[in-house]
Structure 1
Amino acid sequence: MYVTHLSLVDFRSYPTVELPLDHGVTAFIGPNGQGKTNLVEAVGYLATLGSHRVSQDGPLVRLGAERAVVRASVATNADQDSRPSLVEIEITPGKTNRARLNRSPVKRPRDILGTLRTVLFAPEDLALVKGDPSDRRRFLDELLVARAPRYAGVRSDYERVLKQRNALLKSAGAAMRASRAGRGGAAGPDLGTLDVWDTHLAQAGAELLAARLELVDALRPLVAKSYESVAATGSGTNNVDVRLEYKSSLGPDTELTADRAVLVDALVEATGRMRKDEIERGVSLVGPHRDDLVLGLGPMPAKGYASHGESWSFALALRLASYELLRTIGSDPVLVLDDVFAELDTGRRERLAELASAAEQVLVTAAVPEDVPDALAGARVDVLGGDVRRVA
């Protein structure tokens, strides 16, 4: 899989961009702040419907414009003459985005997911090791969707149910506090309704939780292998136990299984047990939205104990393992390396470059040509002052 052409209208700093691309390596070269990352961010947005830099769509639209358009032609195999797929997303902050596939509108933007698949590594990925559980949950869920786009609907259903249930809990909590204070007013919500939402949450949550557990099982050996590849020094000192453990809000005494029916029962039981605390706090305290992926090196958790170099190696390993997992289900995903080589020591730079060079398409951003290792020699696009020019 590779992008043959990228078109932008009012995306980030660009009024317009028309950029042909080839399979193999393309390096975007230019000083910081010139728009290199904006180009690969656009590619990533088409693949995930999200940005690796911001959580909202507003900053993606050029100042003064009402909307942005990102469009790409995607070939599934460099050795075939089949017609590329044309995928397009129109980003309109405050409104529902619109998408097209081969120039035909689709019902929902998520219907384009799977047309383009990417694995992106950027400096922000250190948060996978050092950051909050939400960063690791997002990593798992985005990989789930890349692997099987139907999970975009599962995530959406779960988030919708969670929002409704939290609103009910908040209302019940407010009514309970008012009653304690002796204040009159309208009665609180019927808690029988909460039983219904408990069931909905358990059903949607069990599907998402089971998929995450299956994904972690598939990732575990790939992450260990990738960590060994990027961290190896040749001294025999890197034979470290790399661990991925799923930590569920169901509690340490709950045996985690990918059996959906068992998970539904466990979630219903846990929400019932936590109901009083949930009403007091006005939020749902049990479910996939409260879970974490615990990363470990040897007996210790990576967060708080891993060195800076070990953290980089773990973050790299997670992304490289994702790449290896996705390539088993079809065409190679596009590998995006956004300003990472300047952050790495010489050994990790060279090992990452060697591993990346086998990908069907690699998009690299760097401030200067010297930041791109020789193993990733290929096409070059200079980016300066909004001008995007292919020079080699």
Structure 2
Amino acid sequence: MTAPRSARLTRLTLTGFRNYAIMGIGLSAGMVAFVGANGAGKTNILEAISFLTAGRGLRRAALTDIARVGGDGTWSVSAKIHLDDIETSLGTGATAGVPGRKVRIDGEDMRSSESLLDYMRVLWLVPSMDGLFTGPGSDRRRFLDRLTLAIDPAHGRRVSDFENALRQRNKLLDQGGSDAYLSALELQVASLGTAVSFARQETVGLLKQMIDGRPIENTTFPQAMLSLEGTFEAETIGMSASDQEDHYRRLLEQGRHRDRAAGRTLTGPHLSDLKVRHAAKDMPAAQSSTGEQKALLIGLVLAHAELTAKVSGMTPVLLLDEVAAHLDPDRRAALFERLDALGGQVFMTGTDASLFDALPVHSEVFEVGNNEARLIQVAGAHKSA
């Protein structure tokens, strides 16, 4: 079997991005840690890397909010990467007064950020995700869609088009649109919604296979049992794609009066939920302890990274924000070992360099402060100031 491809960042430059007027970092390691005080700008570096793939970045921030305070409103992220022994320049950013995010590859303008998926797949785990299992279903759908996008580059556009079609239908219902217009729009909603549901279910199925391939007991990070649940999925079990579309279209047509009164569409895969259970204890993840939930989430992200490498043929770049602080030394060491075995590039943050003492000797540790990142440790030896 051919080994997965692996993109490596060798240079990262931020301009007008968050707290950085301009900052460049040279990189040579597969595992990189950024350490420093809270508010120093560590997470901002991870966020910048997250814009080197499709989507809205790890904070899902408005483009105008990313620009440096006191700057001219324009920001950019550029990087040099090595993939297949070829160096490629990636760039993205926004210009004040100009809508949308621009993307360039080797200096050539791209139509959308989806082009970046040909060069990098980026996954992340951030503290805001700690409440994933206890929070609203919309958070878990967004999480699942991000997982799906990493193995199915068309999924992001598919979800966006589906959500846009739903908004148009809701608006048309509110304005008293004709049955003919509604029927045409509902045909589109049904087609897109069915495709979105199918892609999500495929991702869940593949993840289950990946997770089931490991023993439940004696694992550092507990295994998750996954399912995609919702009225739409329950009603369409065993149906072909075309039958699912027809069923959804009929539901939309029959529910017009009810949806008009509610001001929103009350049936469909936009209401489905990713259900997660602690496999060894056979209990909902939401009922597990805070520590168990964190460990479950880490295990799920690691399994998905393995799945992404297997399905896409490209090992993802991982962004892990403050992931080490809540793990005991043995579990941190086990995490670093798993990350190293994945073979992709990993970027982590923490407030203390000692959190990363168990990193492999070929790793790099940067100290972040005063709007710069300074290399302080490499190949297991501390660098002098």
Q: Same fold per TM (> 0.5)?
A: yes
Separation (CA, whole Å) in 2 of partners of 1:307 and 1:224: 22
Contact 1:48 1:142 in 2 (8 A): no
Q: What is residue 128 of structure 2 aligned with on the other side? A: 124
For residue 331 of structure 1, report the CA deviation from its aligned partner.
3.0
Q: Aligned match of 1:137 in 137, 141, 156?
A: 141
SS in structure 1 at match of 2:37 = coil
Separation (CA, whole Å) in 1 of partners of 2:95 and 2:218: 40
SS in structure 1 at match of 2:51 = helix
Contact 1:227 1:316 in 2 (8 A): no
For residue 248 of structure 1, report the CA deviation from its aligned partner.
2.4
Contact 1:227 1:313 in 2 (8 A): no
Alignment of 1:167-206 (within 5 A): 167-171=171-175, 188-206=176-194
Change (3 A) 1:132 1:225: farther
Contact 2:236 2:244 in 1 (8 A): no
> How many residue pairs get matched?
364
Q: Aligned match of 2:225 in 228, 243, 260?
A: 243
For residue 373 of structure 1, report the CA deviation from its aligned partner.
4.2
Q: What is residue 89 of structure 2 aligned with on the other side? A: 86
Contact 1:231 1:310 in 2 (8 A): no
Letter in 1 for 2:199: A
Q: What is residue 175 of structure 1 aligned with on the other side? A: none
SS in structure 1 at match of 2:266 = coil
Contact 2:54 2:115 in 1 (8 A): no
Change (3 A) 1:275 1:230: farther
Alignment of 1:1-392 (within 5 A): 1-65=7-71, 66-77=73-84, 80=85, 82=86, 84-92=87-95, 95-171=99-175, 188-224=176-212, 228=216, 231-232=219-220, 242-250=224-232, 252-255=234-237, 259-297=240-278, 298-303=281-286, 305-328=287-310, 329-358=312-341, 359-377=343-361, 378-392=363-377
For residue 218 of structure 1, report the CA deviation from its aligned partner.
0.2
For residue 282 of structure 1, report the CA deviation from its aligned partner.
1.5
For residue 249 of structure 1, report the CA deviation from its aligned partner.
3.5
Q: What is residue 178 of structure 1 aligned with on the other side? A: none
State the identity as a percent: 29
Q: Which blocks of at least 5 consecutive residues in structure 1 are unaligned?
A: 172-187
Change (3 A) 1:107 1:90: same
SS in structure 2 at match of 1:243 = strand
For residue 376 of structure 1, report the CA deviation from its aligned partner.
4.0
SS in structure 2 at match of 1:50 = coil
CA RMSD of aligned residues (A): 2.3
SS in structure 2 at match of 1:52 = coil
Change (3 A) 1:229 1:76: farther
Separation (CA, whole Å) in 2 of partners of 1:45 and 1:212: 23
Separation (CA, whole Å) in 2 of partners of 1:224 and 1:314: 14
* Post-superposition CA distance 1:46-75 (Å, at most 9, x none): 123322224422321111331210111221
Segment drifting more, 16-25 vs 3-12: 16-25
For residue 293 of structure 1, report the CA deviation from its aligned partner.
0.6
| TM-score normalised according to structure 1 size | 0.86
Letter in 1 for 2:348: V
Change (3 A) 1:281 1:344: same
Separation (CA, whole Å) in 2 of partners of 1:366 and 1:230: 27
